[in-house]
Amino acid sequence: MVANATDKKWLLCPKPNSQAKLKLFCFPYAGGNSQTYRAWPFKLPETVEVHMVNLPGRGTRLREAPITRLAPLVDEVAEAIRPELDKPFAFFGHSMGALIAFELVHQLRKQNHVNPAHLIVSGRGAPHMPKTDPQTHDLPEKEFIEELRRLNGTPTEALEHPELMQLMLPILRADFAICETYVYEDRPLLDCPIAALGGVDDTDVTREKIAGWRERTTGSFTMRMFPGDHFYLHSAQPSLLETITVLLR
């Protein structure tokens, strides 16, 4: 299948493989980009073709304004991803990416009557659980940067580089707004398998919040906690990829 211009903008596939049995679409966390998953195509089995979702405002789309609400973002991703759903597929999303992936599954099921072979959510509490964190996306700049420092997801070199932060802040604020303004809508449960993953030292996304994903599907449920904090997907990458390999087998 030849990707159209929209697909090329939204979806990056570093290692195309027409013989793959399954496509894995990977969604970034707040402030992250598709390059989070750049090594995955070369570390997962040949049976899996990895597609990295490329959001506006970052990477090759740096000149585009980031999207600040989840619904329009999901609409655009759904439009780009539909032509690629020509074989079994799975979604992996970390933090904000888990939320995007979850809502996208609902949308594709409703509009196209298709389901992923697996929904793998990471570093995000179940969407129906009460929000306990204060809104931070509209904090004054100094306080917002301190919150970024606390979350430990932005490199210290970036936090201490004013020019770089001026480029990153609009993206981070937009992504935080996506998460903080999201309102869960009660709908019929999904029926695809869900795997919910987290870091044992993640003080914001606890084991209990991860376990809540069990309530979002009538299909099978798997839960796995890894050594590390909210960004365990970097520090525990080998174990994570091994787990994903088993889930997708």
Q: Quick check: 49 and 22 in contact, CB under 8 A?
A: yes
Q: Quick check: 83 and 4 in contact, CB under 8 A?
A: yes
DSSP element (H, E) containing 89: strand 89-94
Q: Return all residues near 160 (Cβ < 8 A) that are at least 6 apart.
A: none
Catalytically annotated residue among 18, 95, 122, 239: 95
Q: Quick check: 11 and 3 in contact, CB under 8 A?
A: yes
Q: Strands 11-12, 48-53: parallel, antiparallel or unpaired by DSSP? A: antiparallel
Active site residue 235: no
Q: Would you give the distance in Å from CA 107 to the centre of its chain?
A: 16
> Side chain identity at 163, as an amino acid letter?
E
In this structure, the number of other CB atoms found within 10 A of the CB of residue 148 comes to: 21
In this structure, the number of other CB atoms found within 10 A of the CB of residue 159 comes to: 15
Catalytic residues: 95
